[in-house]
Chain A
């Protein structure tokens, strides 16, 4: 492998490391944004006498599914970030 090819390979490894780390952190932040915006709506629904009785159950399901999805993305990305960290050049 030439020096240029090695540099190119290292550069793409760096991109992979940065993107996977960004996805792992970004998924958690996106989850917080998603849930807090959703809470605004659920809070309104909770005050409505018609929707109030079921809104908490819907909120609970919605938040649970969301946490599962974002958490999965974050976990997988974190694993990729750790793997790419190992592959980064050491010097």
Chain B
């Protein structure tokens, strides 16, 4: 993964909506990747060796790239390959790469359309689709499901499992803090403080959506989980059990209650697991989390 891609991912997270509006090449287009190679949606066979009937798609979070899923020292191993190794029929794993500064509902719609094209041209009929999302990626999955159901997409019928890993369904304390700071600073009578508020306000639509976990175009609109699909939630905690730092910061960026979607109301989860001592980023490539996901999905 080149440093230019990493830079583009970070910049896209901060101002990706503006970059896209300007037609700036730093804005990452949404692409499916297999082992770092772009997979054309219309002809995936050209990039995927031995495509399977079980397809796993990993979706990274804000300012991240598909490299966030790689296990240390094992660049080709991730949660998808671990599950595929354990399934009798195997599985094909793709990673999504996208501009995380765009509004989540826009990325959800684009992902839904992309999955429809991808599964339509997949060399073998896809019998089982598994979506895993880290952080914002989990919200993009929920948004794509909503868009897919609304558009009558066929891929929704193949979708069997969604795994949300450290996803701020009820918002992130850091995004809420940024919004509150900007509002307070902009109301102060000193111009230098108002400028600080305006600079914070430059953050992308994607970051703004993380304030409340908005996955639909309307702010604060609730969207339930797509039915007839198993939904799993993974939470991280900075400290050990009962450590007050967990209540303050959760996994560093997302509180446990938000990762569980407690304010979303009446979620029927097939599984939920919390991991003490694993922070937000390490949730995306940790052996203990991999074991839990394999136990759920295999």
Contacts and interface: CB of A to CB of B under 8 A. Distances in A.
Interface of A: 7-8, 10-11, 13-15, 17-18, 21, 29, 32-33, 35-37, 85, 88-90
A35 B191 contact: yes
Contacts of A15: 26
A29 B195 contact: yes
Nearest to A15: B26
Contact of B25 (A13, A35, A85): A13
A17 B20 CA distance: 13
B190 A36 contact: yes
Interface string B45-65: 000000000000000000000
B11 interface: yes
A35 B192 CA distance: 8
A30 B191 CA distance: 11
B17 to A, nearest CB: 13
Given A35-B191, A36-B190, A17 B199 contact: no
B19 interface: yes
A88 B24 CA distance: 7
A25 to B, nearest CB: 9
Contacts, number: 45
Nearest to B23: A88
Interface residues of B, number: 17
Nearest to B8: A11
Interface of B: 4, 8, 11, 15, 19, 22-26, 190-192, 194-195, 198-199
A88 B21 CA distance: 12
A18 B101 CA distance: 15
Contacts of B26: 11, 14-15, 18
Contacts of A88: 22-25
A11 B25 contact: yes
A32 B192 contact: yes
Nearest to A91: B23
Contact of A32 (B19, B23, B195): B195
Given A8-B4, A29-B199, A35-B191, 18 more contacts: A10-B25, A11-B4, A11-B25, A13-B25, A14-B25, A17-B24, A18-B11, A18-B15, A18-B26, A29-B195, A33-B191, A36-B190, A36-B192, A36-B195, A37-B192, A88-B22, A88-B23, A88-B25
A29 B11 CA distance: 20
Contacts of B4: 8, 11
Contacts of A35: 191
Nearest to A29: B195
Contacts of B24: 14, 17-18, 88
B132 to A, nearest CB: 28
A11 B198 CA distance: 27
Nearest to A13: B25
A37 B8 CA distance: 34
Nearest to B199: A29
7 contacts: A8-B4, A14-B19, A14-B24, A29-B198, A32-B195, A33-B191, A35-B191
